[in-house]
Amino acid sequence: MIKVFDGHNDTLLRLQKKPTTDFFKMHRSGHIDFPRGKLGGFAGGFFALFTPGSSPLDTTRGPKGRGRETGLFEPINHEKALTGTLNLAAKLLCLERASRGSFMIIRSIDQLLQCMASEAMGAIIHLEGAEAIDENLNCLEVLYAAGLRSLGITWSRKNIFGTGVSLNHFPGTPDIGPGLTKQGRRLVSACNQLGILIDLSHLNEKGFWDVAALSDKPLVATHSNPHTLCQSPRNLTDKQLVEVAGTGGVVGINFGVRFLREDGKEDPSTPIAQIVNHVNYLVDTIGIHHVAFGSDFDGTTIPNSMGDVRGLPKLINALRKIGYGDNDLKKIASENWARVLKTTWRQ
C-alpha cells in the first residue's frame, strides 16, 4: 500500500471536547482516527489549529460548518484565537504523549522521513488563519517553539495580516479585497526566517501575489484546486498555479466536493473521478512534481464513495488505472510534500 502524507485536516477541532483516547478508537463518524488512518495508508499530515467564528458549528457537515452563517466569517479577536489555538495545540501534544511513540508531532524533515519509514502516524502543526499571532509576532516565536511548522495567513475572513476569500460566492474569483497589510509583510519575513511554511489556501489573490513577491521559499497551497475546473474563490487561477510551480512549490488537492464540481454544489454523490480530474489537470498544467493531496478531511463534505480516510487507496487505485505508475503516485502521495518541507524548514 502506498502511504499518504496529506496537506490538510481539521480533525483536532472535531476532537476538541473529546477524551484523548477517543482518537485511538475506530469510529463511524468523522473522517480520521488512528485505526482508520492505518487501514487507509494515512501516514500523517498537516493538522490544523482553527478557531471558528461566532456561528454555531454544523458538525453534521464538517466542524467548520458550510460557511452559510455570517458570523463564521466575521473577524475574531486575538485573545479568542490564541485561547482556541492553545487548546488545540494542547490536544495534539496530549495525543503524542498518550500514543507512546505511535503518533508523533513532526518538527523536522528527519522526523517526517522517520514517520514515513515506520508504522508511526505523524502530525505537522498548522495554524489556519493567523489571528492567534499578535502584531509584534511574539506569539509566533512561542508557537514555533511548541512545534508550529506551517501557517495560513488567513482563513476565509479578514485579519490584521490580510484578507481571506469568501466561501459563499459561486461562481467567484479569488481577486477579492486588498493585499497584505504591513503586519502581513512582516509575518511573511518572520516565517521565512524561522522556516515556517506559508500556506496560500484561503488567501485572496492580491495577498497571494504579495507573498510571491516577498517570500524566498517555495509557494504552497495546502488544500486548493484549479479555478478553471471549479470557479470557487477558494481555488487558484492558472496564473497562480504556474507561479507556485515556478518556485518549486506544491498544490494539495482539496477533496471537498464544492471545490471539485463544475457547478460548485455540495453533493456527496460526487464521484472520486472528480478528484482524479483535478489531479490530471494539475499534472498537465504544472507537472507531477508540484501536485499533492490536501484532503480537508473533517472540515468539508467529501465524496461518499471515498467515505473517510480509509478511501485513500481507492483514489490511489483510480489514478493507477489511468496510467500513473508507483513512482509518480509516491510523488503525489508524499514525496512532493517532503521535498518542499526540506527546502522550507530550517535543518
| pLDDT tens digit sequence for 23-81 | 999 999 999 999 999 999 999 999 999 999 875 444 334 444 444 445 668 889 999 99
DSSP secondary structure string for all residues of 260-317: TSTT----TT--THHHHHHHHHHHHHH-GGGEEE---BTSS---TTT-SGGGHHHHHH
Q: How many helices (H) and strands (E) does the chain have?
A: 12, 9
pLDDT of res. 168: 82
**pTM for this one?**
0.95
Full set of structural domains in the chain with CATH: 4-344 (3.20.20.140)
Q: Which of 284, 174, 283, 156 is nearest to 237 (CA)?
A: 174
d(CA 157, CA 259): 18
Note the maximum CA span of the chain: 51
> What is the pLDDT at residue 56?
45
Whole-number Cα distances in Å, 41 to 2, 10, 60, 180, 317:
7, 18, 25, 38, 13
Cell numbers standing for residue 159: 485579519
Q: Which three cell numbers stand for residue 70?
A: 455570517
Name residue 251's beta-bridge partners: 221, 291
Q: CB neighbours (10 Å) of residue 56?
A: 10
Residue 270 identity: T
Query: First and final CA of the chain: distance in angstroms?
Result: 30
Q: What is the pLDDT, as a whole number, of residue 70?
A: 52
The answer to whether 280 touches 228, Cβ cutoff 8 Å, is no
Q: What is the DSSP string of 108-146?
A: SHHHHHHHHHSS-EEEEEEEESGGGS-TT-HHHHHHHHH
Q: Report the pLDDT value the prediction gives residue 86, as an integer from 0 to 100.
A: 98
Q: Which residues of the chain have pLDDT under 50?
A: 56-69
Residue type, 344: T
* pLDDT score at 53: 85
Query: Can you spell out the DSSP letters for 28-72?
Result: SSSS--HHHHHHTTEEEEEEEE----SSPP-TTS-TT--S-SGGG
Please say whether the beta carbons of 150 and 127 come within 8 A: yes
The reported pLDDT for the residue numbered 73 is 81
Q: What is the pLDDT of residue 347?
A: 77
**ω into residue 63 within 30 of 0, thus cis?**
no
Rounded CA separation 75/170 (Å)? 22
Q: What is the DSSP string of 88-99?
A: HHHHHHHHHHHH
